[in-house]
Amino acid sequence: MELLQTILITIATLAILVTIHEYGHFWVARRCGIKVIRFSVGFGKALYRWHDKQGTEYVIAAIPLGGYVKMVDEREGNVAEEDLPYAFNRKPVSQRLATVAAGPLANFILAIFVYWCVFVGGVTGVIPVVGSIEPGSIAEQASLEPGQQIIAVDGEATPTMEALHLRLLQRIGESGPITFAVKYPDSDLTYESTAQLDEWLAGDDAVNLIGGLGIELYRPPVLAIVDQVIADSPAEQAGLLTGDKVISADDISIADWQAWVEYVRDRPGQAISLVYERDNSQFSTILTPATKYDENNQPYGQVGVSVQWPEWPEEMKRSFSYGVFGAVGQALDRTWSMSVFTLQSIKKMLMGLISPKNLSGPITIAKVASASANSGLEAYLGFLALLSVSLGVLNLLPIPVLDGGHILYFLVEMITGKEVSLRIQMLGYQLGLFIIVGVMILALYNDISRL
């Protein structure tokens, strides 16, 4: 069921992004008098098709990993005499450029709209409070202390954990000073301090932004309280129910969920004498973890329960509401900042400051889409907007095959007054196709490696 949900959410997400992108091309093409033959969402065999009064065929295809708008174009085959005035290649270069640029532009418009919906509805977050500091770390160099709230980094406000992560993302691979502004939750006094970065986290395969500073942010203790019990699991057979709190195992006190997990994992197939609390009363039972095997074929125990996550203290929560018009500015600012961040990330990856192992493909996108949807509408909309920004930026890269490659050719034509030769265009397309396929293979390889 979980796999099916992931697949459906991923298909829906990609369908939204592709449809909006291709509709941008389609809408501008129609207004420039270009005849559109086909509007396809997906590739491969058509699952459903229909036609409009102007003869355009609309297709929903079997492989939902892209789409295209096919226009009348003499470069792609013979064109009927009556359709020549409506051919893409016969239109002024300004109209051809506008038609191609409209796809990425539509993705930016979608991102702005989605961010607007998020901001106008109000956003919530948790303040970043230092829980502990690692000796010899960047945080210790900056004299940060447990209990302090990080209110700004490099002069940019970080009112929530999300804002802190977004700011730190921009510093990956960089060298130079990093400035923190902090305060204690019950004080209005602000303290500023500086530390030095030296190609911070450059080349790391798995980037841990907060950990890379030597900080562990405060989180409410996760007690060993059962949330859900899997049917026919050892936990159900032992009589555990939602809300039960593990007190001890084999007369050893269990302080939190992590201690309970480690205790169970170390005892596959071994009976555990368990004491738990239910409705302020204590009970005992015998629980025998099932034996499972990890990727190295090493056995570990599993009982079939999930944890009940604690609520954040109210004093650590922050809510922001911007109103109908204020949300417009926030949406524009977030779309712009994420666009700049995407370009900076590409630059740093080319410079070797960000490991190519951080590239993600369809499997990771599917997992994150499903996880964000499960986390609530706000989280999913934020992920959708981020994907839309990424799609818009990547499509504008001056790589033949992508929209940006076509735009590059059109700009050259506008400057020189003549179209780039077909031979040069074809060589560029072959090079661009080689680059894109190579990146896709690397991203898919990274996805599979993470599995």
Q: Among residues 2, 22, 262, 378, which one is catalytic?
A: 22
Say which amino acid occupies 63.
Answer: I
The reply to whether 22 belongs to the active site is yes
Report, as residue numbers or ranges, the catalytic residues.
22
